[in-house]
Amino acid sequence: MIAAQLLAYYFTELKDDQLKKIDKYLFSMRFSDDTLKDLMSRFKREMEAGLGRDTNATATVKMLPTFVRSIPQGSEKGDFIALDLGGSNFRILRVKVTQDKKQPVQMESQVYETPDDIIHGSGSQLFDHVADCLGDFMEKQNIKDKKLPVGFTFSFPCAQTKLDEAVLVTWTKKFKASGVEGADVVKLLNKAIQKRGDYEADIMAVVNDTVGTMMTCGFDDQRCEVGIIIGTGTNACYMEELRHIDLVEGDEGRMCINTEWGAFGDDGSLEDIRTEFDREIDRGSLNPGVCSFEKMISGMYLGEIVRQILIDLTKRGFLFRGQISETLKTRGIFETKFLSQIESDRLALLQVRAILQQLGLDSTCDDSIIVKEVCGTVSRRAAQICGAGMAAVVDKIRENRGLDHLEVTVGVDGTLYKLHPHFSRIFQQTVKDLAPKCDVTFLLSEDGSGKGAALITAVGCRQRELDAQQH
């Protein structure tokens, strides 16, 4: 007992002294309310610029029209295939939407490996792989003789002029297959399917994962008019008034806009809040110079930011007895899932130390305290700036409708949001503080993007039938 008390006392003493220095060191990554408010206004301006005809070309937030005009009505039905490429897994789903009250949506799915040599190879290899997996899935489902409508969740920025055409603007996250940027991914996939020649597919809709998430939640809650992903990457979509979208004809009604907010700051406008560590991970990334906002927030990058800070703290003699081990020099060792584990309140310091040791980082208990503090600072910054972006989106919807008060639901998905012990709480609190006139309900979407793609496909099928009747 006495030993335990002594130990606790020792840690507290140590914490106070060391943490003061560390606190000072991490100061530039802690934002005041004013900074967050300012960030929210800057983001709102950038959204306006993305929507404007004359300003879109230079805006960093591209505000891509999705040609999804309504949230589901709940009356959709049919048998669909959904492909989900670009999140943490490549998945194929069979989604049956019925009018059954108890279980309106039934899904069966399979995850397929997408090895690095495929996502970094040629575009035709990538789409051949997708077509092969789809063939395998249809075989297993015994539906190779059917031509089912397919919804394609493709979680990258795409320029669309209709639901079933999507030109990849640029790869983001881990993907870098050649010859796809500037091409219509529906054409590429159709070509790969035709090359096989053993089954047919009718690709009806290409959908961003944010849009799929919004649609899935919208099926259960008609007030869901925003979708957000906080996972490997981050992005948001929302229902905008058509009269504000200069790049699409028409003034009546609304259309879902894929903001592609990850690119916010790519013109240098976030330099005042970025740090040397952010610049360092940018330099070492697959796509230097772009996705500035995303690189400060999403799961693909947070662990790397922590690693950069740990290297610097070691160089300064604060950590690991000043010794930079080979492990610490290894890019990617500090995965974001370790951040989640280390920050868990249920974990005692000795367990944090055990995790670091598992990672090959020979740490003392003092080291564990500091590492935990670094992780907390990096994830809090991410949650707050992400919250500032979300606050701008919901407040824009409120202003669009001339309301003093808006009630809105946001569909959310993504591993970081779901698995991190504090991210969602800090994110939601920031939205509340920055957008006090909006009453926001956050709805977690399960299997969101695939199911959403099927729902959009259902809406697309209905539209196609109507068009056929009219002509």
How many residues of this chain interact with ligand GLC, rule: CB under 6 A?
A: 18
Site residues for ligand GLC, 99-158, by CB under 6 A, read 155-157
Structure tokens at 334: 């500090």
What gap in Å lies between CA 155 and CA 161, rounded to an integer?
17
The CA-based angle 344-386-457, given to 5 degrees, is 105
Among 294, 366, 367, 395, binds ligand GLC (CB under 6 A): 294
Query: Considering beta carbons, is residue 87 or 450 the nearer one to ligand GLC?
Result: 87
Whole-angstrom distance, CA of residue 431 vs CA of residue 426:
9
Which CB sits closer to ligand GLC, 174 or 464?
Answer: 174
Q: Which residues contact 15 (CB under 8 A, 6 or more apart)?
A: 369
Residue 160 vs 172, nearer CB to ligand GLC: 172
Tokens of 425: 């709480």
* Active-site option among 84, 209, 395, 447: 209
CB of 79 to ligand GLC, least distance (A): 27
Tell me, yes or no, if 209 is annotated catalytic: yes
Residue 230 CA to chain centroid, in angstroms? 4
Give the residue with the Cβ less far from ligand GLC, 152 or 199.
152
Under the binding rule (CB under 6 A), the answer on residue 259 touching ligand GLC is no
CB 263 to ligand GLC: min, Å: 8
445 near ligand GLC, rule: CB under 6 A: no
Which one among 66, 114, 216, 235 touches ligand GLC, defined by CB under 6 A? 235
Rounded to a whole number of angstroms, the minimum distance from the CB of residue 184 to ligand GLC is 16
Q: Which one from 62, 173, 372, 396 is the annotated catalytic residue?
A: 173
Q: For residue 410, state whether it binds ligand GLC (rule: CB under 6 A).
A: no
Q: Does 172 interact with ligand GLC (rule: CB under 6 A)?
A: yes
Closest to ligand GLC by CB, 173 vs 380, is 173
Nearer to ligand GLC, 125 or 170 (CB): 170
Segment near ligand GLC (CB under 6 A), from 4-12, 229-237, 265-273, 387-395? 229-237
Site string for ligand GLC, 71-100 (x = CB under 6 A): ---------------xx-------------
Q: Which of 84, 164, 184, 209 binds ligand GLC (CB under 6 A)?
A: 209
Residues 6+ apart with CB under 8 A from 424: 383, 412, 417, 418, 442
Q: Are 105 and 97 in contact (CB under 8 A)?
A: yes
Distance CA 87, CA 155 (A): 7
Distance (Å, whole) CA 426 – CA 230: 13
User: Which residue's CB is nearer to ligand GLC, number 97 or number 236?
Assistant: 236
**Sign of the torsion angle spanned by Cα atoms 370, 371, 374, 376:** negative
Q: Is 265 left (phi over 0), alpha (psi -120 to 50) or beta?
A: left
Least Å from the CB of residue 224 to ligand GLC: 17
- Whether 367 is catalytic: no
Question: Cβ neighbours of residue 106 under 8 Å, at least 6 residues apart?
Answer: 95, 96, 98
Backbone angles phi, psi at 379, to 5 degrees: -75, -35
Member of 262, 411, 448, 450 binding ligand GLC (CB under 6 A): 262
Q: Is 229 in the site for ligand GLC (CB under 6 A)?
A: yes
Q: How far is the CB of 323 from ligand GLC (least distance, A)?
A: 37
Tell me the residue number closest to ligand GLC, measured at CB: 233
Q: What are phi and psi of 350, to 5 degrees?
A: -65, -30
Given the rule CB under 6 A, which of 114-122, 207-215, 338-346, 378-386 is the region that contacts ligand GLC? Answer: 207-215
Stretch of residues binding ligand GLC (CB under 6 A), selected from 214-222, 227-235, 420-428, 452-460: 227-235
Q: Which is nearer to ligand GLC, 157 or 450 (CB)?
A: 157
Check binding of 173 to ligand GLC (CB under 6 A).
Answer: yes
The answer to whether 290 and 301 have CB atoms below 8 angstroms apart is no
Min. distance of Cβ 413 from ligand GLC in angstroms? Answer: 9
Maximum Cα–Cα distance across the chain: 86
Please choose, out of 39-47, 138-146, 226-234, 333-341, the segment that lies near ligand GLC by the rule CB under 6 A.
Answer: 226-234
Q: Is 450 exposed, middle or buried (0-12, 13-18, 19+ CB in 10 A)?
A: buried
Q: Rule CB under 6 A: which residues touch ligand GLC?
A: 86-87, 155-157, 172-173, 208-210, 229, 231, 233-235, 260, 262, 294
Q: Which residues are catalytic?
A: 173, 209
